[in-house]
Chains A and B, each alone.
Chain A
Amino acid sequence: MATRLSGPVTRVEGLTRRFGDRTVLDGVDLEIRRGEFVALLGRSGSGKSTLLRALAGLDSGTGGRLAVEGTVAVAFQEPRLVPWKRVAANVALGLDVPDPAAAARAALAEVGLADHGRAWPLTLSGGEAQRASLARALVRRPDLLLLDEPFSALDALTRITIHRLVLELWARHRPGILLVTHDVDEALLLADRVLVLADGRITHDSRVDVARPRHRDHPELLALRAALLTALGVTPEETP
């Protein structure tokens, strides 16, 4: 592909979403540039998954403006592999390239599952299934990759390795990423930019200009952590 413009891969203006008389999104403005890794924090029920679903094209009930340039791929909280398709067939599902099987093999090799293409999804561990889900998203060469808390159900050790994997894959393919999470440390370790969604709006937006790999007790990250926790409504003294 020719040189890519570094313009926004998605632009959201005044996005609203109501469920009955409850307003979940109340005029969200958001721009994600190509290749930018953005983390979206929010308490549970803050509407962060609602925003992600809107970007994924899964919600037709929103108001406001929403534009996405190029292809979008999603990795959900549960890997959502289709259980009656083998892992490779899951990755290749709906893939519109000349040789989907070869593309799926390559994608599985990239996430360290080269030997698992013939496996049934229900025989995978949680970490393996989440890797397969990442492969299924990345094989589409997305311009925007939406990650909906994909690490939250993993155990701590698996989570560390998948964090590294996501950073590796992001560095190689450079999709814009929107990572929805409720884990402040995760957001600070991974993202270029951290947003907080509260009361239906983006209430906090800060850049994280710390070189990777990051260590969580880097002074700048600690300062940001305190600010983010305040933005999330948790006073820093409360935290251990």
Chain B
Amino acid sequence: MSTSSLDLARPRARIRLPRPRLPRAGARLLSPLVLLAVWQLAGSTGILPDRLLAAPDTIAATAVELIRDGTLPEAIGVSLRRALVGFALGAAVGVGLALVAGLSRFGENALDPPMQMLRALPLFGLIPLFILWFGIGETPKVAIVAFGVAFPLYLNTFAGIRGVDGKLAEVGQVLRLGRAALVRHIVLPGALPQTLVGLRQSLGIAWLALIVAEQINASSGLGFMINDAREFLRTDIVVLGLLVYALLGLVTDALVRSAERRALAWRRGFLAR
């Protein structure tokens, strides 16, 4: 029988990644806890005055208070909205342009040179211009985020499309896929891993751009909360705001990574075996 004898000769190359020996979780937690304790001690004894850096317990109490009176949730809501709207706009533009440039020579010639030129502009150097164009309301903040998000997604998606294996494109041709089916089944899924790299890069930039944009003329949001606190030497609120920024960044990155795991299951299956 042909099928049974095949099993004899199954050269299954399993890729086994060497698993780094992680120190136990407890050991890794130790030094942050010591740092925290030293910080707390310095604060409680007055060695580290509040106006330089508030003690952890003060920050925790402030967090509870600001959550209870609604200041923090509202600020987070405003900032999150800016980030999301800016991200959605930038992603739509970046991916959209990458599709046009990636799928046609004409599109590449028309779009890629200006995109490469604009990419060289320093994002935060654009802020004065954006304020002149869009005023000091929500629009310039959203625009800065969108601008920062668009380029990593454009570059990665474009490179992903152009990097799709030509041999697979030939398979599509041999299987008589039309152009639309070729794009749908071969080109776009082939570009996806690279697009997801761009997505993670652009999310990092989105938060960074938002933080910078919110330092300028904001009257609401996390940036405003931090700036306002600075005026009153409230380092507890400043640190709290920074922690929230960090947390938001971590959460969005975790979301993308979980989406990545699902979308690239065909790869994970290979590595995890």
Contacts and interface: CB of A to CB of B under 8 A. Distances in A.
B269 A122 contact: yes
Interface residues of A, number: 38
A84 B2 contact: no
Contacts of B264: 84
A122 B270 contact: yes
B186 A82 contact: yes
B3 A56 contact: no
Contacts of B185: 82, 85, 93-94
Given A80-B167, A84-B190, A120-B269, A125 B10 contact: yes
A161 B11 contact: no
Interface residues of B, number: 32
Given A93-B185, A120-B270, A125-B12, A58 B173 contact: yes
B189 interface: yes
B244 interface: no
A76 B174 CA distance: 11
Please report whether the interface of chain B is mostly helix, strand, loop or mixed according to DSSP.
Answer: helix
A94 B181 contact: yes
B171 A123 contact: no
A57 B173 CA distance: 8
Interface string B237-250: 00000000000000
Given A82-B186, A120-B265, A123-B269, A56 B174 contact: yes
Given A73-B174, A120-B270, A122-B270, A127 B168 contact: no
Given A123-B270, A158-B10, 17 more contacts: A72-B174, A74-B174, A76-B167, A84-B189, A94-B185, A112-B3, A121-B266, A125-B11, A126-B11, A127-B6, A128-B6, A156-B9, A157-B9, A158-B6, A161-B2, A162-B2, A165-B2
